[in-house]
Amino acid sequence: MSQEFDLVVLGGGTGGYVAAIRASQLGMKVAIVEKEKLGGTCLHRGCIPSKALLRSAEVYATLKESDKFGVIAGEVGYDFSKIQDRKQGIIEQLHKGIQYLMKKGSITIFEGFGRVMGPSIFSPQAGAVRIEKENGDQEMIVPRFLLLATGSRPRTLPGLVIDGSYVVTSDEALQWEQLPESVVIVGGGVIGIEWASMLNDFGVAVTVVEYADRILPLEDEEVSKEMARLLKKRKVNIVTSAKVLPESLEKGEGRVMIQAETAGGVQSFEAQKILVSVGRQANVENLGLEATEIKVERGAVVVNEHFQTAESHIYAIGDVIGGLQLAHVASHEGILAVEHMAGQNPHPMDYTKVPKCTYSRPEVANVGLTEKEAKEKGFEVKVGKFSFKPLGKAIIYGENDGFVKVVVDAKTNDLLGVHMIGPHVTDMISEAGLARVLDATPWEIGTTIHPHPTLSEAFMEAALAVEGKAIHN
Ligand SMILES: Cc1cc2nc3c(=O)[nH]c(=O)nc-3n(C[C@H](O)[C@H](O)[C@H](O)COP(=O)(O)OP(=O)(O)OC[C@H]3O[C@@H](n4cnc5c(N)ncnc54)[C@H](O)[C@@H]3O)c2cc1C
């Protein structure tokens, strides 16, 4: 006998469990199939643990400078095992929260590996799910709608084998019992720069080797440049336009060495660990997709604007469809997909309104087009910029590096993009996201009264700066 559901969600990560809750709100009978733990990458190996470690690093870095605030902290140190315990405690607390929400929504959880079936005796159309349990038992469930939310895993460079000891990804690094003395980070994107900032704050010698000509290559160029300047000031070694040569890897005596081709010739980098952060790869394998009409292109499941695959009752969202692999993107896509299943007419996903954040010190955040992208798209561009240097609240915090930059269409005054680097900008970017959703002009942002003293004044001033009206510039 097989159980029937309105919706089965394959994968209980951020995208999957949020979609399940929304479906339950809409009156559907819902099940999630999860092979590990509810919460997925974000909760167990991504957003949450990395930010917990970053927060400990920030507290440590602040305490080392306590003198600056007139605070006498005495000898400052850290106990990495306690830091890891705190991180684990946060994960467990949030994991319990998700389990509670599943109960509240009467969502059935199946533990095991889910595989999608083609047309079979259980269902004339593809989409029944066979659950393979750890003890070897199998169970079949039949949904009216299926949502693929199987997420992603770390990618490596061809030939660069992750051994979990000398050469690791963020998955293994998050489990370190103690910190190494030195790390070479291959890849200077979001994850690489968060690790560089955090490890440097803990006193680890860090080298970042990046293939592109700048770190954070998807950010506005001025933001990348400012981040590189600030990290270099903290003695992080940054090497850009560098092609890592996996075949050069040598290990031994607690050290590991790798070479990279750079403009100045082949350079060698040596450290106790190599952390590979070169992107993520969608989990599309072994799902049984070949028994269906579902298409996989460039390693990701192909969907239309409603997140339907080529089998219109099977949807896919989150990291498994590629694109912007972010937790809030996965959950928003999940909500839209489920609302579409329920016959609603949800607004289409607009990826130019998605905030993207890097939780380094200082933080980086953006929404919309960079100045260069806007010009490439043919916009005549006006820019407003405001530095955190003179801002009261930033000076009070003792963190006044960075700036806010506003990119505007000179013809229509439409806000095309907002780019921030500085203290707490990952919290500030939501206002810019709302401004984009509401089609606010720089005039409207500039005339919105912002409380003083706050960091958010920098956004108001940057908007005013578009017309040369910033007060404190
Ligand atoms: C170090 C790191 C830091 C990050 N920081 C951030 C951040 O600060 N902010 C942000 O927005 N994003 C961040 N991300 C990205 C974020 O974690 C992902 O975008 C997000 O988790 C994607 O959600 P998802 O639901 O698509 O997939 P996942 O969270 O990966 O969940 C997929 C789930 O499916 C399960 N699964 C897979 N296959 C099967 C199967 N066949 N049967 C049953 N279950 C299956 C998996 O076990 C997993 O639980 C970070 C990622 C990493 C690695």
| CATH topology (fold) of 3-153+281-351 | FAD/NAD(P)-binding domain (3.50.50)
Strands (E), 216-332: 237-239, 243-252, 255-262, 265-271, 273-276, 280-282, 296-297, 300-301, 314-316
Q: Of 44, 306, 419, 452, which residue is the catalytic one?
A: 452
**pLDDT tens digit sequence for 406-440:** 999 999 999 999 999 999 999 999 999 999 999 99
For residue 473, the model assigns a pLDDT of: 86
Q: Which listed CATH number (3.30.390.30, 3.40.190.10, 3.30.70.260, 2.40.50.140) goes with 362-465? A: 3.30.390.30
Strands (E), 149-253: 152-154, 167-168, 182-186, 205-209, 237-239, 243-252
Is 319 a pocket residue for ligand 1 (Cβ < 6 Å)? yes
The residue to mutate among 8, 10, 22, 42, having the most atoms of ligand 1 within 8 angstroms of its beta carbon, is 42
**pLDDT tens digit sequence for 141-190:** 999 999 999 999 999 999 999 999 999 999 999 999 999 999 999 999 99
Q: Tell me whether residue 452 is one of the annotated catalytic residues.
A: yes
The residue to mutate among 45, 47, 285, 354, having the most atoms of ligand 1 within 8 angstroms of its beta carbon, is 47
For residue 2, the model assigns a pLDDT of: 83
At what angle are helices 14-25 and 327-341 packed, to 10 degrees?
30
Is 355 a pocket residue for ligand 1 (Cβ < 6 Å)? no
Is 331 a pocket residue for ligand 1 (Cβ < 6 Å)? no
Burial class (CB in 10 A: 0-12, 13-18, 19+), 267: middle
**pLDDT tens digit sequence for 332-362:** 999 999 999 999 999 999 999 999 999 999 9
Average pLDDT over residues 364-379: 98
Residue 396 to residues 66, 426, 459, Cα–Cα distance (Å): 13, 19, 18
Which two structure tokens, joined as six digits, stand for 371?
Answer: 């100045």
Average pLDDT of the chain is: 97
Token look-up 């750890």 returns: 134
Residue whose CA lies nearest to ligand 1 atom number 30: 151
* CA 16 to ligand 1 center in whole angstroms: 9
Is 33 a pocket residue for ligand 1 (Cβ < 6 Å)? yes
Asked if residue 114 belongs to a known ligand binding site, the reply is yes
Asked if residue 11 belongs to a known ligand binding site, the reply is no
Quick one: which of 319, 325, 332, 324 has its CA closest to 282? 319
Query: Is this model's pTM higher than 0.85 or not?
Result: yes
| CATH topology (fold) of 167-278 | FAD/NAD(P)-binding domain (3.50.50)
Taking the C-alpha atoms of residue 17 and residue 115, their distance in angstroms, rounded to an integer, is 18
In the chain, where the domains are located: 3-153+281-351, 167-278, 362-465
Establish whether domains 3-153+281-351 and 362-465 are of one fold. no
Helix, strand or coil, per DSSP, at residue 146:
strand
Is 149 a pocket residue for ligand 1 (Cβ < 6 Å)? yes
